[in-house]
Amino acid sequence: MKTRILLLALLLALLLALPAQAAEEGARKKVDLPDMMKQHMLSNMRDHLVTLHEIHTLLGRGELDKAGEVAEARLGMSSLVSHNAAHMAPYMPKEMQAAGTEMHHAASRFAITAKEGDLPRALESLSKVTAQCVACHGAFRLN
Ligand code: HEC
Protein backbone atom coordinates (compact mmCIF):
# COMPACT_ATOMS: atom_id res chain seq x y z
CA MET A 1 0.00 0.00 0.00
CA LYS A 2 2.73 2.41 1.06
CA THR A 3 4.80 1.65 -2.05
CA ARG A 4 1.81 2.28 -4.29
CA ILE A 5 1.26 5.72 -2.75
CA LEU A 6 4.96 6.45 -3.12
CA LEU A 7 4.90 5.42 -6.78
CA LEU A 8 1.85 7.58 -7.43
CA ALA A 9 3.53 10.54 -5.74
CA LEU A 10 6.64 9.99 -7.84
CA LEU A 11 4.62 9.82 -11.05
CA LEU A 12 2.77 13.01 -10.14
CA ALA A 13 6.03 14.80 -9.36
CA LEU A 14 7.44 13.76 -12.75
CA LEU A 15 4.33 14.91 -14.60
CA LEU A 16 4.47 18.26 -12.86
CA ALA A 17 8.20 18.67 -13.49
CA LEU A 18 8.10 18.05 -17.26
CA PRO A 19 6.06 21.07 -18.38
CA ALA A 20 7.92 23.24 -15.87
CA GLN A 21 11.19 22.32 -17.58
CA ALA A 22 9.79 22.98 -21.04
CA ALA A 23 8.52 26.39 -19.92
CA GLU A 24 12.00 27.23 -18.63
CA GLU A 25 13.52 26.69 -22.11
CA GLY A 26 10.75 28.71 -23.74
CA ALA A 27 11.32 31.51 -21.25
CA ARG A 28 14.70 32.34 -22.76
CA LYS A 29 14.07 34.66 -25.65
CA LYS A 30 15.83 33.76 -28.88
CA VAL A 31 17.83 36.64 -30.33
CA ASP A 32 18.55 36.36 -34.06
CA LEU A 33 21.94 37.74 -34.99
CA PRO A 34 23.66 37.54 -38.38
CA ASP A 35 25.96 34.51 -38.23
CA MET A 36 29.25 36.45 -38.18
CA MET A 37 27.97 38.57 -35.34
CA LYS A 38 26.78 35.54 -33.41
CA GLN A 39 30.23 33.96 -33.70
CA HIS A 40 31.79 37.23 -32.63
CA MET A 41 29.52 37.51 -29.60
CA LEU A 42 30.19 33.93 -28.50
CA SER A 43 33.90 34.53 -28.87
CA ASN A 44 33.54 37.64 -26.66
CA MET A 45 31.69 35.45 -24.17
CA ARG A 46 34.46 32.90 -23.99
CA ASP A 47 36.87 35.76 -23.41
CA HIS A 48 34.63 37.02 -20.57
CA LEU A 49 34.94 33.64 -18.87
CA VAL A 50 38.73 33.55 -19.30
CA THR A 51 38.85 37.07 -17.84
CA LEU A 52 36.76 36.07 -14.82
CA HIS A 53 39.10 33.15 -14.28
CA GLU A 54 42.15 35.44 -14.40
CA ILE A 55 40.50 37.87 -11.99
CA HIS A 56 39.77 35.08 -9.51
CA THR A 57 43.32 33.78 -9.79
CA LEU A 58 44.76 37.25 -9.11
CA LEU A 59 42.38 37.84 -6.18
CA GLY A 60 43.43 34.50 -4.71
CA ARG A 61 47.06 35.61 -4.89
CA GLY A 62 46.21 38.89 -3.18
CA GLU A 63 47.05 40.88 -6.33
CA LEU A 64 43.97 43.09 -6.14
CA ASP A 65 45.48 45.97 -8.14
CA LYS A 66 46.22 43.69 -11.06
CA ALA A 67 42.76 42.08 -10.84
CA GLY A 68 41.28 45.57 -11.17
CA GLU A 69 43.43 46.35 -14.20
CA VAL A 70 42.45 43.14 -15.98
CA ALA A 71 38.76 43.78 -15.22
CA GLU A 72 38.85 47.33 -16.56
CA ALA A 73 40.73 46.43 -19.73
CA ARG A 74 38.83 43.26 -20.64
CA LEU A 75 35.33 43.67 -19.13
CA GLY A 76 35.01 47.30 -18.07
CA MET A 77 34.06 50.41 -20.02
CA SER A 78 37.54 50.38 -21.61
CA SER A 79 36.72 47.07 -23.33
CA LEU A 80 33.70 48.31 -25.28
CA VAL A 81 35.67 49.19 -28.39
CA SER A 82 37.54 45.88 -28.54
CA HIS A 83 34.22 44.03 -28.14
CA ASN A 84 32.61 46.01 -31.00
CA ALA A 85 29.78 46.84 -28.59
CA ALA A 86 28.42 49.83 -30.51
CA HIS A 87 28.14 47.74 -33.67
CA MET A 88 26.36 44.82 -31.93
CA ALA A 89 23.98 46.75 -29.67
CA PRO A 90 21.38 47.69 -32.33
CA TYR A 91 20.76 43.98 -33.01
CA MET A 92 19.92 43.27 -29.38
CA PRO A 93 16.63 43.74 -27.52
CA LYS A 94 16.66 46.69 -25.12
CA GLU A 95 16.85 44.54 -21.95
CA MET A 96 19.78 42.64 -23.39
CA GLN A 97 21.62 45.88 -24.16
CA ALA A 98 20.86 47.01 -20.61
CA ALA A 99 22.33 43.83 -19.07
CA GLY A 100 25.43 44.22 -21.24
CA THR A 101 25.89 47.89 -20.34
CA GLU A 102 25.36 47.16 -16.65
CA MET A 103 27.94 44.38 -16.80
CA HIS A 104 30.55 46.79 -18.23
CA HIS A 105 29.69 49.43 -15.61
CA ALA A 106 29.87 46.86 -12.80
CA ALA A 107 33.28 45.69 -14.05
CA SER A 108 34.60 49.27 -14.00
CA ARG A 109 33.23 49.74 -10.46
CA PHE A 110 34.90 46.47 -9.44
CA ALA A 111 38.20 47.76 -10.86
CA ILE A 112 37.99 50.79 -8.55
CA THR A 113 36.92 48.76 -5.49
CA ALA A 114 39.65 46.15 -6.05
CA LYS A 115 42.33 48.84 -6.06
CA GLU A 116 41.15 49.90 -2.58
CA GLY A 117 42.60 46.58 -1.40
CA ASP A 118 39.79 45.06 0.69
CA LEU A 119 39.23 41.47 -0.54
CA PRO A 120 35.69 40.82 0.82
CA ARG A 121 34.50 44.14 -0.62
CA ALA A 122 36.20 43.37 -3.92
CA LEU A 123 34.50 39.97 -4.09
CA GLU A 124 31.15 41.52 -3.28
CA SER A 125 31.68 44.00 -6.08
CA LEU A 126 32.71 41.22 -8.49
CA SER A 127 29.44 39.43 -7.75
CA LYS A 128 27.65 42.46 -9.24
CA VAL A 129 29.45 41.65 -12.49
CA THR A 130 28.55 37.96 -12.46
CA ALA A 131 24.95 38.88 -11.56
CA GLN A 132 24.70 40.37 -15.07
CA CYS A 133 26.14 37.23 -16.71
CA VAL A 134 23.49 35.23 -14.86
CA ALA A 135 20.63 37.65 -15.63
CA CYS A 136 21.35 37.84 -19.34
CA HIS A 137 21.90 34.08 -19.73
CA GLY A 138 18.61 33.44 -17.94
CA ALA A 139 16.70 35.68 -20.34
CA PHE A 140 18.29 35.23 -23.79
CA ARG A 141 19.73 32.64 -26.14
CA LEU A 142 21.29 32.77 -29.60
CA ASN A 143 20.60 29.22 -30.74
C1 HEC B 1 23.93 40.94 -22.47
C2 HEC B 1 23.79 39.53 -22.30
C3 HEC B 1 24.94 38.71 -21.77
C4 HEC B 1 25.83 39.02 -20.78
C5 HEC B 1 25.87 40.27 -19.90
C6 HEC B 1 26.73 37.89 -20.69
N7 HEC B 1 26.40 36.94 -21.60
FE8 HEC B 1 27.40 35.21 -21.94
N9 HEC B 1 26.08 34.68 -23.40
C10 HEC B 1 24.96 35.42 -23.73
C11 HEC B 1 24.17 34.69 -24.71
C12 HEC B 1 22.85 35.16 -25.32
C13 HEC B 1 24.85 33.49 -24.95
C14 HEC B 1 24.41 32.34 -25.86
C15 HEC B 1 23.63 31.37 -25.01
C16 HEC B 1 22.80 30.38 -25.79
O17 HEC B 1 22.51 30.59 -26.99
O18 HEC B 1 22.39 29.36 -25.17
C19 HEC B 1 26.05 33.52 -24.10
C20 HEC B 1 27.01 32.52 -24.06
C21 HEC B 1 28.09 32.49 -23.21
C22 HEC B 1 29.10 31.46 -23.19
C23 HEC B 1 29.18 30.27 -24.13
C24 HEC B 1 30.06 30.65 -25.32
C25 HEC B 1 30.07 29.61 -26.44
O26 HEC B 1 31.08 29.52 -27.13
O27 HEC B 1 29.05 28.91 -26.63
C28 HEC B 1 29.97 31.78 -22.17
C29 HEC B 1 31.22 31.01 -21.75
C30 HEC B 1 29.51 33.02 -21.58
N31 HEC B 1 28.37 33.44 -22.24
C32 HEC B 1 30.14 33.68 -20.52
C33 HEC B 1 29.71 34.87 -19.98
C34 HEC B 1 30.30 35.49 -18.80
C35 HEC B 1 31.42 34.90 -17.97
C36 HEC B 1 29.64 36.67 -18.60
C37 HEC B 1 29.83 37.72 -17.54
C38 HEC B 1 31.15 38.18 -17.25
C39 HEC B 1 28.63 36.77 -19.66
N40 HEC B 1 28.71 35.66 -20.46
C41 HEC B 1 27.78 37.83 -19.79
C42 HEC B 1 24.63 36.68 -23.27
C43 HEC B 1 25.30 37.38 -22.27
Calculate how far, in angstroms, residue 116's C-alpha sits from the geometric centre of ligand 1. 29
Q: Is the CB of 103 under 6 A from ligand 1?
A: yes
Over pLDDT 90: what percentage of the chain?
Answer: 73
Among protein residues, the one with the nearest Cα to ligand 1's atom 4 is 133
Residue 14 clears pLDDT 50, i.e. is over it? no
Ligand 1 neighbour 142 (Cβ under 6 A): yes
- d(C-alpha 29, C-alpha 135), whole Å: 12
The closest alpha carbon to 48, from 119, 107, 115, belongs to 107
pLDDT in tens, 32-74: 999 999 999 999 999 999 999 999 999 999 999 999 999 999 9
Using CB atoms within 10 Å of the CB of residue 89, give its burial: 0 to 12 exposed, 13 to 18 middle, 19+ buried.
Answer: middle
pLDDT of residue 21: 47
Q: What is the mean pLDDT of residues 120-126?
A: 98
Q: Is the pLDDT of residue 2 over 80?
A: no
- Say what the pLDDT of residue 88 is: 87
Mean pLDDT of 116-139: 98
pLDDT band at 81 (very low <50, low <70, confident <90, very high): confident
